[in-house]
Structures are given as C-alpha cells and as structure tokens.
A and B are shown apart, each in its own frame.
Chain A
Amino acid sequence: MSESLSAHLRVVIALTVREMQSSNSSYVYGYAWAVAEVCISLTALMALKVFLRGLSPPNMPPVLFLLLGGVPWFTFHNTAAGMLQIVGQRKKLLLLPHVTPIDIMLAKATSVLCTYGLIFFIAVIGCVFFESPGAPRSLAGLVLIYLLSWFLGIGFGMITMPLVRVFPPAPKLLAVIWRFGLILSGVYFTVTSIPAQYWIYLTWNPMLHVSELMRTYWFSTYQTPVGNPFYVMECTIGVLILGLLLERYVRLRVPV
C-alpha cells in the first residue's frame, strides 16, 4: 500500500515539474511568464479595487486585504478551471505506464498551488514591509484555510471534469459561473458591508467563508460574523468525495 502511494507521489511530482517546466516553455524565460501572468491578474484586481474604493472596510491595509481574499480565490479558481481540460490536453501522457488521469489533474493542481503559493508569500512579505499590518492573528489558521481553498478547487475540478468529457462546451458555461463566483466570494468586500438579511444566501458559498476567515486570521481589527472553518472543511470533504467518485465512474466509461 505504502509502495503504491509512494509510486503515485513520485508520478505526481514528476508530472508537476514537467507541467511547470513546459508551461510557457516556448517563450524566452518560460515559467517566469506563468508567474508574471498571475502578477498581472492580481494587479488588475487591485486596480479594480482602487476603482471600487467605496467598498474598502476600515482598519485594514488595502493591498493585504485584497490579497487575502484574491489569492485564495484565484488558487481555487485556477485549480478547478485548470483541472477541467488538462486530461484532454495532456492525454498523450496517458500512454506512459503508471500515469493515470488523476495524476495529471493532481499535477496541474500542484503546479497552481506552487505558483500562487510563491506569489502569495512574496506579496505578503511586500505588504508586511510597506503596509505594516501587524503580525497575523493565526498563521496556522491562514495556512490551513488557504490549503482548504486549494483542496476545494481540486474537488470542484474533479466534479466538473466529467461534465466536460460528456459535454465539451461546458467550460464556456462555467466561465460565467466563475465570474459570479469572484463577485460573490468576498474578494472585494467583507460580509459586514452587505445588509445582514442577505448573509443567509451568501454564506452558502464556501469561498466567502475562506475570504472572511483569511482576514479574521490576519487582522486583529476584523472579526468575521459568518466565517466558519468547519463549514469549509465539510464542503471540501464533500466535493472531494463526490469528485473522486465521479472521476472513477467516468474514467472507464467516457474516453478522454
């Protein structure tokens, strides 16, 4: 059992390294472009935030506020969206013994985590230096919730991937859902800036809990009235189980 697991781990690591090396490898500076792409997305997010200045909550440095909501969202979104079509795009790898569709999906997800995790770390260091937000209230909480957002992305990716196999135009429809998701996940606002009667609807979204908890675990000046780490965990476990079952079901029935 442990031998089989270590073999899977080895395969996922090899595929992750390949994924990171081959992304943008046709350009000069290769992987640096993947990092630059993320930086550009975050800069655009910040520009939008400046434009929507009215929604800024008080007592929170603006850039770090946005990073704590935006990076988990992008990690979640890019993990799920990246896994959606990656098996089709990398199906030639399935010609290699030991490589399974789930390995390819996990490698994609891991490469997203590495890229966003690296940028998150560097950007947070920059914010600490320039914005002096004070020490985080719970570093372990921040890391745990961030990782949960990634696992949530893996689960969503596994649920939506079979959909693409059965219905290839699905990514176009999902893109609309992602846009709404960005708006409704508290990247730009805290839930306290929304009238309390709408919270019951908004809090169905686990990514809203993630944004709220990330800010609560860093800023001593903010305490979320709705964020619940156990809800995020329950959603993550739920989507992962459902995703794994669907992947297993589809693997032998619908060709890549």
Chain B
Amino acid sequence: MSIELHQVGKTVRRGGGTHILFEDLNFRIDPGARFAVLGLPKSGKSTLLRIICGTDHADVGTIERGSSASWPIPLSDFLVPASTVAANMRFLTRLYGLDNEQILRDVAGLVEITEFLNSRLGECPRHVRPRLAFGLGVGLGFDICLFDERVASMDKEFRPKAIEIVKSLSAEKAIVVATSQHKEVADLCDTVFVLEDGKLTRFPDVKEGIGHYNGLIAKAAGDEPEEGEAGGEAAEDEFVLEVGI
C-alpha cells in the first residue's frame, strides 16, 4: 500500500515559454511516512502534490497508486458557501464512499465546528471554512494526507490542536507537507526532500535538509546564509512576503 512515482516529469507554460518544473523524479510514499517537501515558491511543490493525489497529470513517467491520497489540505475551493456545513460534509463523505452520519459528527467534533453544522458555510465565522477543510482532509480516512504550505494555516486558537491532530494520525497513515516555510517541518516530519531546479533531493536528517533549504533561500535572496542560521527564522520571515502559490 503506497504511492510510487517513477521518473516523473512535468513541463508548464510560463512567461510565454515552456519551463521544466521537474524531471526524472522518483518518490515513494509508504504507510507511516512523514515527509516534507521544501522548495522555493513556484518550484513545483503544489503541482507535485496534485500529481500525487491524481488531480494533475505528469507529462512523462508512471505513477503507481496503491493508497488513497487526500486533496492538498487545507484547500477548500470546492466547498459551496450557499450550502450548509453538513451538506458540504455529506457531499465529500458521499464522494468517497463514506456516507455515514457518525463520520460527519466525528469530523465536526474534531475541528470544533459542531454548532455550525446546520448553518450556511458562507454565513459562518471565518474560521469555520479552513477548519472544515482541514477536518475533512484528515478525517475522511485517506491513507496519505497531503498538506500544501502550512499544516495549520488556520485561526490561532485552533492551530496547536491542528498540529496535535496531525501528529496523532495513526502509524499507518502517511503525511506529506509541501511548503516554502519550515516552521512545522521539524516537528512533524522525519525526512526532508528539497525540490530544487526540477530535482528532488532526499535528506534523511531533517536539520540537514532545513539547512540546505535555508541556503537555497539565501541564494534566491542574493544573500549568503549567515553562520549559525541553520534554524533559519530570519531568512524565513524575510521570505514569507513572497510566498504565493
């Protein structure tokens, strides 16, 4: 039960020309994997996630899917604001063959939005939508949970709980966090991949991977990394403004 990418390549149109996003990419996600994919904005992280979950196609290579993968969490564009929270949840449980009221209540309870179940999503407080998207992504029983950018890109109040929920996902479940910021990576992941110039480099040592990525950030900003900046907070904060996938 895994998802395996063999020699996957993807080209995109950018600025009137074609741009190789990545090529000859090999990647295997086994049960229990805790991976982070770090890369600069527009390096192809989101595209990679979409290829993993099957909503985008690779131009070359093969993908073997033996496990189910979530959409890139906390994506929520498919939710209908004019429908109730419960109707939105039922749509997704029905879509993935889990037409079960108990799951609906469990997910709502998990992300603390039970009181809004019968309210229209568009009329709910702002924090409900990202929580709902997060809850559905982790609560619908996918074998692999994919996170695009921050794991807990939601209200401050719920953020620590979201991290705890992801940490407590069962050992059979895999997570892949694709991000240009690495704040949560060291906490959640045991392997780092850095997507750089269309190539994916594996770092079994998380700190080493983060350090390498910080070097990449500094290089992109036209700066050399300062000594002892492996944690990279300063470089990361400078870069936040440019994040826009």
Name A residues whose Cβ lies closer than 8 Å to a Cβ of B. Answer: 7, 10-11, 13-15, 17-18, 21-22, 25-26, 92-99, 252
- B55 near A95: Cβ-Cβ < 8 Å: yes
Residues of B within 8 A of A (CB): 50, 53-55, 57, 68-72, 75, 77-78, 80, 82-83, 87, 91-92, 94-97
Which of A14, A22, A25 meets B94, CB within 8 Å? A14
Contact of A97 among B70, B82, B83, B94 (CB under 8 A): B70
Residues of B within 8 A of A93 (CB): 78
| B91 with A17: CB separation less than 8 A | yes
- 16 other contacts beyond A21-B80, A95-B72, A98-B95, with CB at 8 A cut-off? A10-B94, A14-B91, A14-B94, A14-B95, A15-B95, A25-B83, A93-B78, A94-B55, A95-B50, A95-B75, A95-B77, A96-B92, A97-B68, A98-B54, A98-B96, A99-B95
A-B contact pairs, 13 of them (CB 8 A): A7-B97, A14-B94, A15-B95, A21-B80, A21-B83, A21-B87, A22-B82, A95-B50, A95-B55, A96-B71, A96-B92, A97-B69, A98-B96
Give chain A residues whose Cβ lies under 8 Å from the Cβ of B96.
98
Closest to A6 in B: B97
Q: How far is the CB of B64 from chain A (nearest CB, A)?
A: 15
CB pair B71–A95 under 8 Å, yes or no, is yes
Q: Which of chain A's residues has its CB closest to B75's CB? A: A95
> Looking at the complex, which one of A17, A21, A97, A252 makes contact with B53 (CB distance below 8 Å)?
A97
Q: Is the Cβ of B82 less than 8 Å from the Cβ of A11?
A: no
Are B87's CB and A97's CB within 8 A? no
The answer to whether A10 and B95 have CB atoms under 8 Å apart is: yes
A92-B53 in contact given A10-B94, A97-B68 (Cβ < 8 Å): no
Residues of the A chain whose Cβ atoms lie less than 8 Å from the Cβ of B53? 97
Q: How far is the CB of B147 from chain A (nearest CB, A)?
A: 14
Neighbouring A residues of B87 by C-beta, 8 Å? 21
**Chain A, Cβ-Cβ closest to B146:** A97
- Residues in B with CB closer than 8 Å to A25 are 80, 82-83
Write the chain A residue with the least CB distance to B91: A18
Question: How far apart are A22's CB and chain B's nearest CB, in angstroms?
Answer: 5
B82 proximity list for chain A (CB < 8 A)? 22, 25-26
Q: Which residues of B lie under 8 Å from residue A22 when comparing CB positions?
A: 80, 82-83
